[in-house]
Amino acid sequence: MLGNIISLLVLLALAVVFAWLTRRAWTSRRGLVKWFGAVLAGLLTVISAATLVLALVGFYKLGQRHPNPIPTIQVARTSAQVARGEQLAHICANCHASNSQLPLSGTDFVAKFGLPPIGTFYSPNLTPGGTIDDWSDGEVIRAIREGIHKDGRSLLIMPAENYRHLSDDDAQSIVAYLRSQPPTGGPTPPNSFNVLGALFINLVDWRTAQPPVRQVSAPPPGTPAYGKYMVNILGCQDCHGAQLQGKLETGQPGPPPGPNLTQIVPQWTEDQFMTFFNTGKLPGGGTVPLLTLPNGSTGPRMPWTEVRASTTDDELKAMYTYLHSLPPIEGPAQ
């Protein structure tokens, strides 16, 4: 906080000094000094003033509050809920654990994914030893489905646009599981962005806050609609495009772009689909290549192990039925 205020004051001081130098140069009688000096100092004035303004806009964005109501619910924590929640929690492990495995004890997100030095940024420890122990069940459900911190600010990066589709039952199951994990490690440090982070948030907007989520129930199990439900909460769209039509490399930091599922899965049999998720083997031979993260951990480029761990056989089959029925779309697109 103090560091950020000092950095902003330094930017302000630079802008003032450069503006003063511009004026000095402009009033000089020597032609070279006048033109060269004024242009150079003028440019530096504009750059430092623009940086200051963008940083202020960034801090404003990061501090914005969302008045979404907090659900008033006390999760029962039945053993069925805990088991279902543990299954679904595998979706969270890539981000909320340094080795991408349960328990969700949190990790230094900047180090794990090699982000620029934007400040202190952890995916918090979600076990009872961590940061959400004094949050109400409703606050945790709001964080998951609406991407909002207990204090009302937007969480960053949390894929709440996927989780807003989670049914009330599934969201409660996740909370039941989080509360019943063994406490692992202590609270991760509170997140705070520095000036670089504030500038960065103008380039890549990672805020995830969603409009309030009302009651959600899952479609009947085994139907294509249920398959679509799982596809939505697992976030296949994040990498395979909004319409699953495939994505191209954008050069921006983010997950690896995946190919066009609307053209690929309709050509697969259910067996081939199940084999892919059980073993990572593609029907034409070959397996999914590995991705090495900056923190040294490796995982498949297509996170099939994570998808497999967070679904039952019946759910995977419903996902197949849904994807198999999609009309082919031209792709990939940006």
Is residue 124 at the binding interface for ligand HEC, with CB under 6 A as the rule? yes
* Cβ at position 191, least distance to ligand HEC in Å: 4
Between the CA of residue 298 and those of 112, 113, 215, 235, 293, what are the distances in Å?
11, 11, 38, 20, 6
* Cβ at position 179, least distance to ligand HEC in Å: 11
Is residue 238 at the binding interface for ligand HEC, with CB under 6 A as the rule? yes
Residues numbered 78 to 97 that lie near ligand HEC (CB under 6 A) are 91-92, 94-96
Closer to ligand HEC by Cβ: residue 8 or 133: 133
Is residue 155 at the binding interface for ligand HEC, with CB under 6 A as the rule? yes
* Per-residue exposure over 168-199, b if at least 16 CB sit within 10 Å of its own CB, e if not: bebbbbbbbbbbebeebeeebeebebbbebbb
Is residue 109 at the binding interface for ligand HEC, with CB under 6 A as the rule? yes
Report the C-alpha gap between 266 and 221 in whole angstroms: 21
Question: What radius of gyration, in Å, describes the C-alpha atoms of the chain?
Answer: 24
Is residue 276 at the binding interface for ligand HEC, with CB under 6 A as the rule? yes
CB atoms within 10 A of CB 111: 15
* Cβ at position 79, least distance to ligand HEC in Å: 19
Report the C-alpha gap between 28 and 36 in whole angstroms: 11
**Exposed/middle/buried for 210, CB within 10 Å: 0-12, 13-18, 19+?**
middle
Measure the CA dihedral 131/167/91/177, to 10°.
50
Closer to ligand HEC by Cβ: residue 212 or 259: 259
* Cβ at position 82, least distance to ligand HEC in Å: 14
Closer to ligand HEC by Cβ: residue 52 or 319: 319
Longest alpha-carbon distance in the chain: 84
Is residue 174 at the binding interface for ligand HEC, with CB under 6 A as the rule? yes
* Cβ at position 146, least distance to ligand HEC in Å: 11
Is residue 58 at the binding interface for ligand HEC, with CB under 6 A as the rule? no
Residues that bind ligand HEC (CB under 6 A): 91-92, 94-96, 109, 123-124, 126, 131-132, 140, 143-144, 149, 155-159, 163, 174, 191, 231, 234-236, 238-240, 255-256, 258-259, 261, 264-265, 276, 282, 288-289, 301-303, 307, 319
